Chains A and B, each alone.
Chain A
Amino acid sequence: MGAAITVDALVMTYGSLRAVDGVSFDVRPGEFFGLLGPNGAGKTTTLETVEGLRKPDAGSVAIDGYDPWKRQPELQRRIGVQLQSSAFFERLTAREQLVTFASLYGVASGRADELLEQVGLTDKANSPVEKLSGGQAQRLSIACALVHDPEVLFLDEPTAALDPQARRNLWDFLEGLNDSGRTVVLTTHSMEEAEVLCDRVAIIDRGRLLKLDTPQALIRGLDVATRISVVPGLVRPHEARAWPGVADVVESDVALVIETRDPGPVLAALAERDALEGLAVTKGTLEDVFLSLTGREYRA
């Protein structure tokens, strides 16, 4: 189970726009791989070319040695796809969608109810798809991608339309998907999501691959400060500025923000003064990684 994916010097153009501009990466069998980038970065174009929906203008794509553009049933049966915009058979219920997709892939539909439960749609099993909310439709679309238990799974922004709770629930479910050796490739805007789910992440912007590494390494490699914020008025800014390791202190109406590369002593100092009310700690985010890679603000 699990298949390797090779993308080599991939170029995709729409007219004069180079939506994907020489992207290369390998996905190992059983790996959970993320494509991360802002709107219009070229994630969907890359993913759809790997899936076989688009023909590369230059470069090549291979899944376990197969060229996905040549529609080969033996490869297609091993691939599951969730497209960025959900596509269903009109007026069929959620369960009927799963049963139909199962038949298209030549498998029995026994997993339908199990999958509905796993994506939290049991109570919507008999609702026509037209009556599902955006987030519910997205989860059904993921279930449809999994109905034939594929070796390789492609997810294009699987949590984009989900509320925070549903997103966390889906993460729990997605996390286990590569346990059995399945290869998973997903696109996302969210560094947090990439961190939770992905073994490795490729950061893409304007059709180019900027960096490829584990999420931990990406953030560790970032030379950015940790931001510690508490409610204003607990500590005087000039006092905090004198603490060891503090780089900057900014006070506003809503928060006192302390920037530091060594959060330990700062947190200890705050605790000592019993000034932990409204505490929030943020490390480097995608915004920071992006900023450091491109010199531009992240514009997701």
Chain B
Amino acid sequence: MSRGTAARSPLGALTGAMFKGFVRDRMTLFWAVAFPLMFLVLFGGVFTGQDEAPKVDVVQVGAVPVLDDLPAAARDSIGEGLDVEKRPGLDAALDSLREGDVDAVVTQDGDDVTLHFSQADQVKAAQVRGLFQAVVQIADQAASGQAPRFTLSTEQVEDDSLEQIQYVTPSLLGWAVAMSATFGAAANLVAWRVSGLLRRLRLAPIRTSSVVLARVGVSVVIAGVQAAIFIGLGVGAFGLKLTGWWPLIVPLLLFGTLSFLSIGMLAGAVSRTEEGAVGLANFVVLPMAFLSGSFFPLDGAPTWLRAVSSCLPLKHLNDGMLDVMVRGQGPSALLVPIAVLLAFTVVLSAVAARVFRWEA
């Protein structure tokens, strides 16, 4: 109950009041927590799996030693793309191939391996021919007893090498944190100014910085809750695999929050109405989210777009998040993102302080 004996500090009281104001507002809760989560479920859950090439269904009629005697290692790698089913009759198998129920039929007669395929699905046709080329080569090598002279190792350059969920969790989390920090600060500042509460607070024996610090505290807590929910859901439901240094997101969340709070403070300082502030925040954060690769990677984007992107604080927040959460990078990966975020914070909050108004 309220019959407390000791007084809370002004900062504690302001933080408590702001936090209650936040959690009691269903709309802000929705935008800060439920809305980004919907994106996570959408990008992480529904679209997952489309990344991998679909398997080819192959019917094997009779004994096919090149397949049956495939070395274990090769079987593993080739088997990933291949679903082999044994059936007795060749004619029936060819019928299902013509009808498109399977992608290829394979038989072997002595040293002759015959692959029947259908050109109806050209991608599958190419895929299955490539696969069997490899199978036959491996068998050839095994028969000749020679070690292979060349080896091929493959490395993909795009972030597509990360599974979808590995990419979207850190990037969407960056966007969610940016959004709620910006909106929270902008809407809060304007609402308090319009209601006259800022004037009232001006007469209370508190430091102006207490009001700002309270907002920082609330936004950092919100960011922490967002991170916990995102990571919990990602790991628990969508198979997100975190790499060793993932707790380094804590400083990233802190500096990201500060940076976007200062954007929000600026939006709040120049806006007259709450709607105006939220609109302005939207106008800044939404395009920035696209340009920073929060929703999809920018690897295919033109160079100039990527140059623009690298000037944006959200891009660096996302990069940092990806580095420590899923790319297995360590503390050194924080240096650039934190430096950029801090620079934005310093500059924008200095501007916000200059244009700050107590009264509507």
A residues with a Cβ closer than 8 A to B are: 51-53, 71, 73-74, 76-77, 79, 81, 83, 85-92, 95-96, 98-110, 112-113, 128
A92 & B20 in contact (Cβ 8 Å cutoff): yes
Complex CA–CA separation, A113 to B4 (angstroms): 11
B197 & A103 in contact (Cβ 8 Å cutoff): no
Which residues of B lie under 8 Å from residue A86 when comparing CB positions? 196
- Chain A minimum-CB-distance residue to B198: A87
Complex CA–CA separation, A85 to B18 (angstroms): 21
Which residues of B lie under 8 Å from residue A106 when comparing CB positions? 7, 10, 205
B8 at the interface (CB under 8 A from A): yes
A107 and B205 in contact (CB under 8 A), knowing A53-B199, A96-B17, A99-B2?
no
A87 and B203 in contact (CB under 8 A), knowing A96-B17, A99-B2, A109-B2?
no
A109 and B7 in contact (CB under 8 A), knowing A87-B196, A87-B197, A100-B13?
yes
B6 at the interface (CB under 8 A from A): yes
Which residues of B lie under 8 Å from residue A105 when comparing CB positions? 204-205
Which residues of B lie under 8 Å from residue A53 when comparing CB positions? 199, 202-203
A100 and B16 in contact (CB under 8 A), knowing A106-B205, A110-B5?
yes
B191 at the interface (CB under 8 A from A): yes
B7 & A102 in contact (Cβ 8 Å cutoff): yes
B17 to chain A, nearest CB (A): 4
15 contacts between A and B (CB under 8 A): A53-B202, A79-B203, A83-B199, A87-B196, A87-B197, A89-B197, A95-B2, A99-B13, A103-B8, A103-B9, A104-B201, A104-B205, A109-B3, A110-B5, A112-B3
- Chain B minimum-CB-distance residue to A77: B205
A97 to chain B, nearest CB (A): 9
A87 & B20 in contact (Cβ 8 Å cutoff): no
Which residues of B lie under 8 Å from residue A101 when comparing CB positions? 204
- Chain A minimum-CB-distance residue to B4: A109
- Chain B minimum-CB-distance residue to A85: B196
B13 & A110 in contact (Cβ 8 Å cutoff): no
B199 & A103 in contact (Cβ 8 Å cutoff): no
Which residues of A lie under 8 Å from residue B204 when comparing CB positions? 76, 101, 104-105
Complex CA–CA separation, A128 to B205 (angstroms): 25
A92 & B5 in contact (Cβ 8 Å cutoff): no
- Chain B minimum-CB-distance residue to A98: B2
| Chain B 56-95 interface mask (CB, 8 Å, partner A; 1/0) | 0000000000000000000000000000000000000000
Complex CA–CA separation, A51 to B8 (angstroms): 25
The one of B13, B20, B21, B25 that contacts A104, using a Cβ cutoff of 8 Å: B13
Given contacts A89-B197, A103-B10, A110-B3, 7 further A-B contacts (CB under 8 A): A87-B196, A89-B20, A90-B21, A90-B25, A99-B2, A109-B3, A109-B4
The one of A79, A83, A88, A96 that contacts B20, using a Cβ cutoff of 8 Å: A96
A103 & B203 in contact (Cβ 8 Å cutoff): no
Q: Which of B5, B7, B20, B202 has the most CB of A within 10 A?
A: B7
Complex CA–CA separation, A92 to B13 (angstroms): 12
A259 to chain B, nearest CB (A): 45
B191 & A110 in contact (Cβ 8 Å cutoff): no
Complex CA–CA separation, A142 to B319 (angstroms): 52
A89 & B17 in contact (Cβ 8 Å cutoff): yes
Which residues of A lie under 8 Å from residue B191 when comparing CB positions? 90
Which residues of A lie under 8 Å from residue B20 when comparing CB positions? 89, 91-92, 96
A113 and B21 in contact (CB under 8 A), knowing A104-B13, A104-B206?
no
Complex CA–CA separation, A98 to B4 (angstroms): 12
Complex CA–CA separation, A95 to B2 (angstroms): 8
B3 & A113 in contact (Cβ 8 Å cutoff): yes
Q: Which 9 A-B pairs have the closest CB atoms?
A: A103-B13, A73-B205, A87-B196, A76-B205, A91-B24, A103-B8, A87-B197, A87-B200, A89-B17
